[in-house]
Amino acid sequence: MQTLVTGGAGFIGGHLAERFVEKGHDVVVLDNLNEFYDTGLKERNVAVGREAAEGGGSYEFVEGDIRDEELVTGLVADADYVFHQAARAGVRSSVADPRLYDAVNVDGTLNVLDAARDHDVERVVVASSSSVYGKPRYLPYDEDHPTTPVSPYGASKLASERYACAYAEVYDLPVVALRYFTVYGPRMRPNMAITNFVSRCMNGKPPVVYGDGTQTRDFTYIDDVVEANLTLLATDAADGEALNIGSTDNIEIRTLAAEVRDRIDPDLDLQFADRHDADADHTHADTTKARTLLDYEPSHTIREGVGKFVEWYRANREWYEPLVLNS
C-alpha cells in the first residue's frame, strides 16, 4: 500500500510518516521545508522516517510545494491513500500575510483534491484545525457549532475542509477532515506554548504567559492524533465528514505553565506579557462524533502528556533545545 503524506517533514506529518512506515507501508513524503521554523527539526523528522524504513516499509522524501500542481498530480497518481498535512501554519503569522495562507492552504488543498478525484485514490484525509470555530458560542465545541474563524489561518483551514467535504458530496471522493485541537508532543514545533514553557524552565527562566492566562486550551497528545489517522486506513464510516480530534480535558494556560514549572523548577515565578488579538480565548473539543465513527478514545490527559514531553525533552535536549528561543 502506498501512502502519500504531504507536509510529512512537519510535526504531525512526520509522526504519521514514521508510524505508517513502521506498519509496513510504502510512504512518500512531500514537503517544501519552508522556514516558518528551523528546518533542522524538519530534517530530523525525515531522518526518523528513513530510520523507520530499516525495519518496516519504504520511505521516500520529495522536496516540493503543494502549490506545484504538476508535482502534486504525479505523486497523488501513485498513491492509494493521501494524508494531507501540508499547510502554512501559525495564527499570528497569518495576520501579516493572509494571501500566502490562502495560496498554500486553499489552492494547495485544491491541487490535492483534484488529483485525488482524477486518480481514484482510496481516501484523502485532510488536516483541519480547531481554529475554524473562532469565538465559542458554547463549549465544548461540537461539529455543529458555528464556524466563524477570527484569523486568516482559521479562514483558510475552514475553506480547505469545506472544499474537501464538497468534493465528497459532488464527486463521491472518499475524504475526511480532522479538526485538530492544539497537538503537542516529541518533535513539536518550537514556537508552541508547551515547548517554550519547558525550555525556559529548563534554563532557569520563568515561563511567559500571554494575557492573564485564563485562556483555556484543549491540548491533544500526538499519539492520539496518529491513532485517529491510522483508523482511516480501514474504515469508510467518516467519509464526507469533519471530525473533532481533541483530548480528554482542557486547561487554563496559567495552570499549564505552573504545571510545567512545578515539574522542572518550582522556585520560578510566572511571567506575563500582552496577548495577541488573533488568539482564541478558549478551545475544548467534543469528540463524540469521532468516538462514534472511529472509536476514537484519547489516551492522554494534559498532565500525563506534559510529563511525557518533559521526559522526552530532557533526553533530546542536546539537539532539540537550540531550535527554541530562550530570550
By annotation, the residues acting in catalysis are: 153
Give me the amino acid identity at 307.
G
Residue 136 cell numbers, joined:
465559542
How far is Cα 273 from Cα 248, in angstroms, rounded to an integer? Answer: 28
Q: How many CB atoms lie within 10 A of CB 108?
A: 26
3-class DSSP string for the chain: CEEEEECCCCHHHHHHHHHHHHCCCEEEEEECCCCCCCHHHHHHHHHHHHHHCCCCCCEEEEECCCCCHHHHHHHHHCCCEEEECCCCCCHHHHHHCHHHHHHHHHHHHHHHHHHHHHCCCCEEEEEEEHHHCECCCCCCECCCCCCECCCHHHHHHHHHHHHHHHHHHHHCCCEEEEEECCEECCCCCCCCHHHHHHHHHHCCCCCEEECCCCCEECCEEHHHHHHHHHHCCCCCCCCCCEEEECCCCCEEHHHHHHHHHHHHCCCCCCEEECCCCCCCCECCECCHHHHHHHCCCCCCCHHHHHHHHHHHHHHHHHHHHHHCCCC
Q: C-alpha distances in angstroms, 214 versus 52, 183, 208, 209?
A: 41, 19, 13, 10
